Structure 1
Amino acid sequence: MEKEADAAGISGSDTTLTVQTMQSWTGTGPTSFSSREGDDQVRTSERIINEAAQGILGYEESVDWFSSLEPFEQRAVLQEVVRYSMQAHATAEDGREGVSQSGVKPTITPAVLIVRAPILEQMGKILNLPPSEYVNSFRVLLSTFTVADTRRRETECRGSCSHPWHNMS
């Protein structure tokens, strides 16, 4: 179990994971959504993030799922959304549009950070916010990823995309 925690980038006191928590994190426990046939290879977090970005899963449903996670699980999901955002080539302009779609006040810390360049540095700052900021951070990061990923699907991947995460429906 500790080896799995190390592989996930979790250290210190967070390595005392319970089997139930690890199961929920990997999508086999109570916080997972029902899996579609043939979708077993996609982690729950990956599926939820991408389905929310594509409008297949409701935004509030994804926020509810995120809110049900333990803080160390939330941090891992935030890191995952940042990775996906970088793969989608998110920009500070995407951050501005994302904030307007996120439902958060534009004055909260994650919203203030995401609209500044360089965006990778700002996302790093968001990842280092305290756990009390995680839900708002998720809202802002997910909305920013949605904007960047939508643009990418409409330009680079239009008509000939073989990315499994762009073919969730």
Structure 2
Amino acid sequence: MKASERIINEVAQGLRDMETAVSWFSSLEQVEREAVLLELVRYSMQAHATADDGREGVSRSGVKPTATPAVLIVREPVLESRGTIAGLPPAEHVKAFRVLLATFAVADTRRRERECRGSCTHAWHNLA
């Protein structure tokens, strides 16, 4: 499991706090940050994140609801919005990371509780 996958899933499962993840993300080079944002988009698609998950994610992210990534994550269709968030300029990367990660955490928690409850074999769902 690569570092980004582990960190993202640890935050989603409450094993790592957002601030530690943001510090790690901020230390990456721009091209690596862009790759992590795209990875988060893929993960949120796999977890079937919704606009409602986005609203909850924004409230957990520490990002103002009027910030560009926060506005985009609650728009429909969600898939297009997530791709747009990943493509925001570098000055927006940390806010985009916070919003995408918090939204993924909401969607992934629901997925683990409903679909994988007690029988999940995904390595990333069995970190604890």
Normalized against structure 2, the TM-score is what? Answer: 0.98
- Report the CA distance between 1:110 and its aligned residue: 0.2
2:71 to 112, 118, 125: 112
- The residue that corresponds to 1:133 in the other structure is 92
Q: 1 CA distance for matches of 2:5 and 2:84?
A: 22
- Report the CA distance between 1:127 and its aligned residue: 1.4
Look up the equivalent residue of 1:95 and give its one-letter code. G
- Gap regions ≥5 residues in structure 1: 1-41
Look up the equivalent residue of 2:72 and give its one-letter code. L
- The residue that corresponds to 1:18 in the other structure is none
Structure 1 segment 47-62 matched on structure 2, within 5 A: 47-62=6-21
Question: Which one has a bigger Cα radius of gyration?
Answer: 1
**Identity value in percent:** 70
- The residue that corresponds to 1:5 in the other structure is none
Q: Does 2:118 correspond to 1:159?
A: yes
Q: 1 CA distance for matches of 2:69 and 2:76?
A: 13
Q: RCO greater where, 1 or 2, for CA within 8 Å and sep 6 or more?
A: 2
Look up the equivalent residue of 1:77 and give its one-letter code. V
Map Cα deviations across residues 91-122 of structure 1 (whole Å, 9 max, x no partner). Answer: 01100000000011000000000011111100
Q: 1 CA distance for matches of 2:87 and 2:109?
A: 26
- The residue that corresponds to 1:95 in the other structure is 54
Structure 1 segment 1-169 matched on structure 2, within 5 A: 42-169=1-128
Look up the equivalent residue of 2:122 and give its one-letter code. H
Look up the equivalent residue of 1:46 and give its one-letter code. E
Q: 1 CA distance for matches of 2:84 and 2:111?
A: 25
SS class of match (2:31):
helix
- Report the CA distance between 1:49 and its aligned residue: 0.4
- Between structures 1 and 2, the one with greater helix share: 2
Q: 1 CA distance for matches of 2:60 and 2:12?
A: 12
Q: 2 CA distance for matches of 1:68 and 1:138?
A: 13
